[in-house]
Amino acid sequence: MKKLLAMLMAVAMCFTLLTACGNSSDTPAETGSAPAETGDNTGETPADGTAFKLGGTGPLTGGASIYGLAAQRGAQIAVDEIREAGGDIQFDLRYEDDVHVAETAVNAYNTLKGWGMQISLGSVTSTPGIATSALNYEDRIFALTPSASSPDVIAGKDNVYQMCFSDPNQGLASAQYIYEQGLGESVYIIWKNDDIYSTGIKDQFMAEAEALGLNVVGDSTFTEDTQNDFTVQLTDAQQKGADLIFLPMYYQPASLILTQADQMGYEPKFFGVDGMDGILTMEGFDATLAEGVMLLTPFNADATDEATVAFVTKYQDLYGETPNQFAADAYDCVYALKQALETAGCTPDMSNEELCDALMEVFPTITFTGLTGDGQGITWDSTGAVSKAPKGMVIEGGAYVGMD
């Protein structure tokens, strides 16, 4: 009897567990439901055949949700703007949660495919992006990912394009920027061993630094499991006399590095990459620690041009926070697709194969001007890689300020 009871309890536990998981993936639907949420908002959604079905996956819950939610919201703002403005090209946007896990992303992709997705926004982050882009390629659904920056996302897939810099390009641009601006004499790198984003940037940074003659005095690593204590890495950097530490990583570990360097009384310059974006909005983080941190990012929420101001204001009104570059990239994606569809003369009744062929032909030829990149415009080559100029930013008084 007791055994039976024990079994029942165990089963009950499992159920509670499952319910908990179920609930947790439901939350963003509640929190992020400001404008038209996912595709099932029937009120404003145009009838079938009058709008392009645009789908994307991203981490809407879990540790990377700050990126997924930003991309979803940015894209949604663009779609709503296009709807308000009227016109022939309209989108019906649907985002599915992939919790930054490749397997979940494949399921999310299949859900979107079942819904009838004609054009894809790929995935928001790289690890799921590699999985879904392979499916995009097989199914001939054109994809323009806002932020999955690994070169593996587009490699060998002729119909997958990126809006963000690829990881190696970030490493390259960072090394060049540090060298050209004379920011550091002795550079030290702390990178994340088990993350393709971090290793991709670091490898190219090292190669470019060597080519330029930039003095890299050392490097050290960490993994997901050792990202609590950075004192060893920081002491090593200090011992080697580094005056600039390059941090190719996301903002969570970076925030710890800044805190621990401060505790040690070690004050080198810190140079980050676009994953650093988000550090200022971390709850409880002492933003003064990030003072003077430099980073290369394609988007500056403090820029004063009309488009950026309008976007930032709208985003703040709807979601109560300042958009990061993921939101801007996704916003740009929607408008870039609009421009390409107009150029190619596509209509929503075309099949995904037809759209894919048309877009593949048009994309390498267009020059797009959006929130990200400078006034020169954004172009793509036929491999799907983007070409745009990064902006050097420095954190001053708790905000990003352009460096040049």
Which residues in this chain contact another protein in the complex, by CB under 8 A? 2-3, 5-6, 9-10, 13-14, 16-17, 20-21, 23-24, 27, 61-66, 193, 220-223, 225-226, 228-229, 231-233, 235-236, 239, 252-253, 255-256, 259, 262-265, 282-286
Distance CA 25, CA 263 (A): 37
Q: What type of residue sits at position 266?
A: Y
Looking at the DSSP assignment, which residues form a beta bridge with residue 265?
none
Query: How many other CB atoms are there within 10 angstroms of residue 11's CB atom?
Result: 10
Contact of 232 with 219, CB cutoff 8 Å: no
CB 105 to another protein: min, Å: 17
Residue appearing with tokens 């929503």: 348
- Residue 109 token pair: 């992709």
C-alpha angle with apex 273: 379 to 135, nearest 5 degrees? 55
Pick 181 or 193: Cβ nearer another protein: 193
Distance CA 77, CA 80 (A): 5
Least distance CB 195 / another protein (angstroms): 13
> What is the distance in angstroms between the CA of the first residue and the CA of the last residue of the chain?
75
What are the CA-CA distances from residue 235 to residues 23, 62, 231, 239, 243 (Å)? 43, 32, 6, 6, 13
Report the chain's C-alpha Rg in angstroms.
22
Q: How far is the CB of 203 from another protein (least distance, A)?
A: 14
- If the CB atoms of residues 179 and 191 are measured against another protein, the closer one turns out to be 191
Smallest distance, another protein to C-beta of residue 264, A: 7
Strand partners, 91: 52
Nearer to another protein by Cβ, of 235 and 379: the residue is: 235
CB of 31 to another protein, least distance (A): 8
CB of 386 within 8 A of CB of 164?
yes
Spatial neighbors of 15 by CB under 8 A, at least 6 apart, are none
- Give least dist CB 61 to another protein, A: 7
Task: Dig out the tokens for 287 from the structure.
Answer: 């933003």
Least distance from C-beta 348 to another protein, angstroms? 36
Give the nearer residue to another protein in terms of CB position, either 145 or 255.
Answer: 255
Nearer to another protein, 161 or 270 (CB): 270
Taking the least distance from each CB to another protein, the nearer of 20 and 85 is 20
Smallest separation (angstroms) from another protein to the CB of 132: 21
By beta-carbon proximity to another protein, the closer residue of 165 and 315 is: 315
Minimum CB separation of residue 165 from another protein in Å reads 25
Cα–Cα distance between 335 and 78 in angstroms, integer? 7
For residue 316, which amino acid is it?
A: Q
Backbone φ and ψ for 73, nearest 5 degrees, come out as: -70, -40
Q: Are 145 and 163 in contact (CB under 8 A)?
A: yes
Q: For another protein, give the closer residue by CB, 17 or 401.
A: 17
| Residue nearer to another protein on the CB measure, 28 or 171 | 28
Answer yes or no: are the C-beta atoms of 49 and 348 closer than 8 Å.
Answer: yes
